[in-house]
C-alpha cells in the first residue's frame, strides 16, 4: 500500500465528523466567540453537511486517506429521561419545551461533528505496549458536549476493533479531569509509524494553585486530565511534554489549543502568544525531539502578533487548519478555512509563508462556513489517527471514504436534511422523527445493526 510518505512510513488518516441533521446555532459555548455571536441565527443543516462532505472529498482528491465518523443521536432523549422527563418521545419533547426549553438545545446540538474533540489518540509507535490508544474526551466543560463520550467510545470501538487498538473510557467527569481530546494535543515525528514527541496542552491546574489563569472565559482542559491520558496511553516520560495555554489567548477566544497551533510530522505552526513561557517550551521541544529523532530537525514556525493579532488569529482560524504531507510533494500543504483568505493581515502573512517557509509550500482553502459559525474550522472537524500499514488494514473499511460512499452520503443528506433550522424547530417532535429515520438509514448504509439508543 502506498501511504502519504511513500512505502512503509505509516499514514495519518483524518476521520471527519459527518455533520448531523440537527446542526443549529444554540449559542451554547461560553468562551467560543463564534458560537455566541451567531446564537439563534438561522442554520442550514443540509448545506453544513454538504460542506463537510466536500471538504472530505477535497482532502481525498489531494491524495490522502480519509475516514468518517457518524453523527450521534440527537435529540438525545436518554439525557432527558435521566433528567426526569418520561413518556413517549413526543411527550418528552413537548414536556421539555414547556417546562425547560433551555434543555432542548443542549440535547439537540450536532456538536459531535467536531471530531477533534472526540478523543485523544496515541499512535502505537509511542506506546510501550505498541497499541494505538484512544481515550474518549469527557468534554465536561460544556453541558451539550458532556453527553457525547459514551456514544463516541461505542463508535470508536466499531471503527477500530481488534488487537491493535486499546480503548479507554472517558476520564471521570467533572471539572477536575476536564478533557477536550485531540484539540489540545500535538505530536512531532519524522514518519507517522515511528516514535514521536507528544505535546499535551492544558489551561489550568485542578489540584495546585494557578498563578496564571484565564479570567474572562473558562479554560476547558485541566493539567490533571492531560497527565492521566499520557499515563493511560503508556507514553515514555522522555517523549511527552505538558504546556500551559496562554490564559490571555483563552480570554481572546481560543478555547482550544488548535485555534492557535497546528502540527504535522516535524513542523509546528503556532502563534507567538499561544503558550505560557513559550521560549522555554520551544527549547524543551527541541531538546526532547532531538533525543528521539537526532536525524530530523523540528521546524517551529511562530507567527508574530505584529503580523497576526490575537483577534485576527481567532476570527480567521488561521491555525485551525490541516497541515498535511501530500504524496510526492517535498513541502507540506496548509488547508485553511476561507475566512483566513478573507482576513487582510492573515492573507498577507500566508502570501509570504508559502514563499519563505522551509516546510510549508502550498496553501489551500475550504469552505466550512456553517461549522465555522459555531467555532469549528477544518481542524476541528477531523480526528487524526496515525497508523502503520497493519493497523490501517485493520480499520473497519465501512468508515474509510470511497467515491461510492461519498456519493451515497451526499444523496442521504439531500434526502433527509432540512434546508433551515431555527431554535423554535427543536420543539417540533416531527424533527426528531425525521432525524431518527435518517440515522436509521445511516446504520443500514454502514451495516451497523442497532447502534443508536432509539434503535434499542
**Which of residues 257 and 267 has its CB atom nearest to ligand SUG in the complex?**
257
Q: How far apart are CA 175 and CA 213, in angstroms?
A: 15
Number of residues that bind ligand SUG (CB under 6 A): 23
> Is residue 135 a contact partner of residue 182, using CB atoms and an 8 Å limit?
no
User: Does 258 contact ligand SUG by CB under 6 A?
Assistant: yes
Give one DSSP letter per residue of 277-329, joined into a string: THHHHHHHHHHHHHHH-TTS--EEEEE-TTTS-HHHHHHHTTTSSEEE--TT-
Closest to ligand SUG by CB, 27 vs 361, is: 27
Q: Which of 65, 233, 271, 380 is catalytic?
A: 380
Number of H helices, E strands in the chain: 17, 15
Contacts of 347 (CB under 8 A, 6+ apart): 340, 341
Interactions with ligand SUG, residue window 198-237 (CB under 6 A)? none
Q: Shortest Cβ distance from residue 24 to ligand SUG (Å)?
A: 6
Q: Which set of grid coordinates corresponds to residue 29?
A: 459555548
- Between residues 46 and 256, which has the closer beta carbon with respect to ligand SUG? 256
108 touching ligand SUG, by CB under 6 A: no
**Is 180 assigned a catalytic role?**
yes
Residue pair 24/110 in contact (Cβ under 8 Å)? The answer is: yes
Taking CB under 6 A as the binding criterion, the range among 119-127, 275-283, 332-340, 370-378 that sits at the site for ligand SUG is 370-378
Contact call for residues 183 and 117 (beta carbons, < 8 A)? yes
Residue 47 or 292: the one with the smaller Cβ distance to ligand SUG is: 47
Q: Which of 233, 240, 256, 271 is catalytic?
A: 256
Under the binding rule (CB under 6 A), the answer on residue 72 touching ligand SUG is no
Is 122 catalytic? The answer is no
Contact between 179 and ligand SUG by CB under 6 A: the answer reads no
User: How many other CB atoms are found less than 10 A from the CB of residue 164?
Assistant: 18
Q: Does residue 109 interact with ligand SUG by CB under 6 A? A: yes
User: Rounded to an integer, what distance in angstroms lies between the CA atom of residue 263 and that of residue 193?
Assistant: 16
Q: Using the rule CB under 6 A, is 111 a contact of ligand SUG?
A: yes
380 is a site residue for ligand SUG (CB under 6 A) = yes
The correct pick among 240, 256, 288, 384 for binding ligand SUG (CB under 6 A) is: 256
* Residue indicated by cell numbers 452520503: 409
Contact segment (CB under 6 A) with ligand SUG among 47-55, 111-119, 124-132, 383-391 equals: 111-119
**45-61 vs 403-416: helix crossing angle, rounded to 10:** 170
- Residue 354's nearest CA partner among 341, 366, 343, 367 is 341
Q: Is 183 in the site for ligand SUG (CB under 6 A)?
A: yes
Closer Cβ to ligand SUG, 392 or 431, answer by number: 431
236-255 footprint of ligand SUG as x/- string (CB under 6 A): -------------------x
447 flagged as catalytic? no
The nearest distance, CB 241 to ligand SUG, in angstroms, is 20
Nearer to ligand SUG, 104 or 239 (CB): 104
Strands 185-188 and 197-202: antiparallel
Nearest to 321 by CA among 350, 298, 299: 350
Interaction of residue 145 with ligand SUG, rule CB under 6 A = yes
Contacts with 421 (C-beta within 8 Å, 6 or more apart), sequence order = 22, 23, 24, 42, 43, 44, 45, 431
Q: What residues contact 175, with CB distance under 8 A and at least 6 apart?
A: 140, 141, 206, 222
Q: Which of residues 22-51 bind ligand SUG (CB under 6 A)?
A: 25-29, 32, 35
Catalytic positions are 180, 256, 380
Chain residues in the site for ligand SUG (CB under 6 A)? 25-29, 32, 35, 109, 111, 114, 116-117, 142, 145, 183, 255-256, 258-259, 374-376, 380
Amino acid at each position: 500500500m502506498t501511504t502519504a510518505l511513500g512505502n512503509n512510513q505509516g499514514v495519518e488518516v483524518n476521520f471527519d465528523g459527518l455533520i448531523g441533521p440537527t446542526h443549529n446555532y444554540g449559542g451554547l459555548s461560553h468562551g467560543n466567540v463564534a458560537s455566541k455571536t451567531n446564537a439563534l441565527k438561522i442554520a442550514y443543516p443540509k448545506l453544513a453537511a454538504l460542506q463537510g462532505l466536500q471538504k472530505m472529498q477535497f482532502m481525498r482528491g489531494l491524495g490522502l486517506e480519509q475516514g468518517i465518523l457518524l453523527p450521534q443521536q440527537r435529540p438525545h432523549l436518554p439525557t432527558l429521561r435521566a433528567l426526569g422527563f418520561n413518556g413517549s418521545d413526543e411527550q418528552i419533547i413537548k414536556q421539555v419545551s414547556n417546562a425547560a426549553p433551555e434543555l432542548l438545545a443542549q440535547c439537540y446540538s450536532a456538536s459531535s461533528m467536531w471530531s477533534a474533540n472526540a478523543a485523544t489518540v496515541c499512535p502505537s509507535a509511542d506506546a510501550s505496549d505498541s497499541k494505538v490508544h484512544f481515550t474518549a474526551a469527557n468534554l465536561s466543560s460544556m453541558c451539550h458536549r458532556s453527553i457525547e463520550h459514551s456514544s463516541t467510545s461505542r463508535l470508536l470501538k466499531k471503527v477500530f476493533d481488534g488487537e491493535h487498538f486499546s480503548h479507554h473510557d472517558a476520564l471521570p467527569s467533572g471539572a477536575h479531569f476536564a478533557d477536550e481530546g485531540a484539540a489540545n494535543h500535538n505530536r512531532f515525528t519524522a514518519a507517522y509509524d515511528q516514535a514521536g514527541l507528544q505535546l499535551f496542552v492544558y489551561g489550568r491546574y485542578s489540584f495546585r494553585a494557578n498563578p496564571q489563569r484565564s479570567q474572562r472565559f473558562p479554560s476547558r482542559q485541566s493539567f490533571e486530565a492531560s497527565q492521566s491520558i499520557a499515563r493511560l496511553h503508556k507514553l515514555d516520560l522522555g517523549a511527552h511534554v505538558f504546556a500551559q495555554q496562554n490564559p490571555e489567548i483563552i480570554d481572546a477566544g481560543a478555547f482550544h489549543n488548535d485555534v492557535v497551533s497546528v502540527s504535522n510530522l516535524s513542523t509546528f505552526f503556532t502563534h507567538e502568544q499561544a503558550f505560557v513561557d513559550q521560549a522555554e517550551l520551544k527549547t524543551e521541544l527541541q531538546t526532547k525531539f532531538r533525543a528521539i529523532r537526532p536525524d530530523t530537525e523540528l521546524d517551529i514556525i511562530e507567527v508574530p502578533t505584529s503580523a497576526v493579532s490575537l483577534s485576527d488569529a481567532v476570527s480567521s482560524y488561521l491555525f485551525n487548519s490541516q497541515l498535511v504531507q501530500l504524496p510526492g510533494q517535498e513541502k507540506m500543504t496548509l488547508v485553511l478555512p476561507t475566512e483566513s483568505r478573507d482576513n487582510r493581515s492573515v492573507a498577507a502573512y500566508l502570501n509570504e509563508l508559502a514563499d519563505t517557509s522551509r516546510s510549508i509550500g502550498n496553501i489551500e482553502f475550504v469552505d466550512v462556513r456553517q461549522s465555522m459559525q459555531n467555532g469549528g474550522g477544518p481542524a476541528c472537524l477531523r480526528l487524526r489517527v496515525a497508523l502503520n500499514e497493519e493497523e490501517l488494514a485493520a480499520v473497519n473499511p465501512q468508515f474509510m471514504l470511497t467515491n461510492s460512499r461519498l456519493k451515497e452520503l451526499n444523496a442521504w443528506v439531500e434526502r433527509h436534511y432540512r434546508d433551515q433550522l431555527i431554535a423554535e424547530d427543536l420543539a417540533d417532535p416531527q424533527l426528531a422523527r425525521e432525524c431518527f429515520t435518517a440515522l436509521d438509514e445511516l446504520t443500514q448504509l454502514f451495516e451497523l445493526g442497532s447502534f443508536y439508543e432509539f434503535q434499542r
